[in-house]
Amino acid sequence: MILQQGADVNRRADLAGDLEFVSLADLFQLLGGGNYTGILRLSSDFSKIHGEIHFVSGEPVDARWGAWFGMDALHSFFGWQEGRFEFRPQEFSGRRTIRKGRMEIVLDALRMLDDGLIKKLGVPQRLIPYRSGGLSGSYGTDLAVIKGSLIDYSLILAEESFEDRRRIVSEGSYGNWIWVILEGRAIVSREKEGEEIPIVCLGEGSFIGGLEVLVFGDHVRAATVTAVGEVKAALLDTHRLSTELMSLSSAFRKSLLNMSTEVKKASDDLLLLLTKCGNHPQAEPVRVGSRDLFCRDYESESPLGSIIRIGCEKGRFQVDSFPSEIGLLSRTFKGFVQCTADIILATTRRAWTIRNRTADSGPNQSNRKTA
């Protein structure tokens, strides 16, 4: 994201960036918090026509996308999975077509997105293939890259740089720090039978550290995180995050902490498959326990929406607490929860793909290979 003070509005935008990194919901918070008046232009490789949202004192008053206008156009923009945005100060002189407040719009749009009522445009970039000749050879050829969104910079205590291949945290070690990646990528890996096996790749906006750190403090790290190239990360104020967690209802807090447990379970399942199948199809399918339910048609939902639905089905999450309390979370804490959900789904998706590949090979194909 680029922020320029006093820029020539005829040449350069005051605020510009990628929707892959800063979501439209985050932009609404940013522009609303600053009471900005101007025009937000959106463009995407998946649309020949750019979109426009007009703001007056931080509130959206009009939106246009081709023949669509008003709320119809505005809701559609929340389905843009990738693209670019530019904001320029500009007085609004048109007809107001939007009268709802920005927070009501955001909550309604995210609910509609989860319910499949808003069409998604483009390819979600939080879960994209990552191919590398890095750790453990073929084990790392189908990693997903987890990317996050804007955080509250007042939570940053310090910024740190990590050189290529340097371990940021080590599995089995104790620690109570939480970072968010500002630049670069890092590999999350687990050790199995003396081998370091990659699980997912963390990109900009992703968090290093689990939710359980906010409760248990100095906690045993469940995985190793290693820098890929140079990584710049921000050390976060865990005391403030912990205070926010403890202010939630006990049922909601327990549900969120169960997400950290799901991260470990998902990677356990993946390790079982990778070490038995070697990341390639073998004769006998390896069952992934309860993960069958976890993978069922989740792609039609947002990652966090899937975690909520499946967690409720399993009885581990309190269904009534999520809708009311999620909206009360701070931007940074919500990003932390979203990142955890993304890691669970990316890991589960990878295990599911390997399991299907294994099942499709069948005994006959295996016999042919042996012959």
By the 8 A CB rule, do 145 and 126 touch?
Answer: yes
pLDDT number for residue 290 = 36
Burial annotation 49-84 (CB, 10 A radius, 16+ → b, else e): eebbbbbeebbbbbbbbeebbbbebbbbbbbbbbbb
Is residue 182 scored above 70 in pLDDT? yes
Q: What pLDDT is recorded for position 355? A: 74
| 116-174 tens-digit pLDDT | 888 887 654 444 444 444 444 444 456 778 888 778 888 999 999 999 889 998 888 88
The reply to whether 52 and 154 lie within a common domain is no
Distance CA 336, CA 330 (A): 10
Confidence of residue 317 (pLDDT cuts 50, 70, 90): very low
Entry pTM:
0.57
Q: CB-based burial of residue 20 (10 Å sphere; 0-12 exposed, 13-18 middle, 19+ buried)? A: buried
The last residue of a domain, from among 60, 90, 114:
114
Q: Are residues 104 and 132 in the same domain?
A: no
Say if CB 206 and CB 180 are below 8 A apart. Answer: yes
Domain identity same for 162 and 230: yes
CATH of the domain at 247: 2.60.120.10
Task: Give the mean pLDDT of the chain.
Answer: 76
Interval 305-316 mean pLDDT: 46
- Can you give the residue range of the structural domain that contains 14? 2-114
Residue 365 belongs to a domain: yes
CA dihedral 42, 43, 46, 47 (to 10 degrees): 80
Whether 304 has a pLDDT exceeding 80, the answer reads no
Asked if 244 and 285 sit in the same domain, the reply is yes
| pLDDT at position 311 over 80 | no
Please indicate, yes or no, whether residues 35 and 138 belong to a single structural domain of this protein: no
**Model pLDDT, residue 219:** 75
Q: Is 50 helix (H, G, I), strand (E, B) or coil?
A: strand
Distance CA 113, CA 110 (A): 5
Examine the domain organization and report whether 97 and 242 are in the same domain.
no
Which has the closest alpha carbon to 98: 31, 155, 65, 53? 53
For 20-78, the pLDDT digits (tens) are 778 888 899 889 988 999 999 999 877 888 999 999 999 999 999 998 999 999 999 99
Write out the two tokens for 367.
């016999």
74-98 residue pLDDT tens: 999 998 877 889 999 999 999 999 9
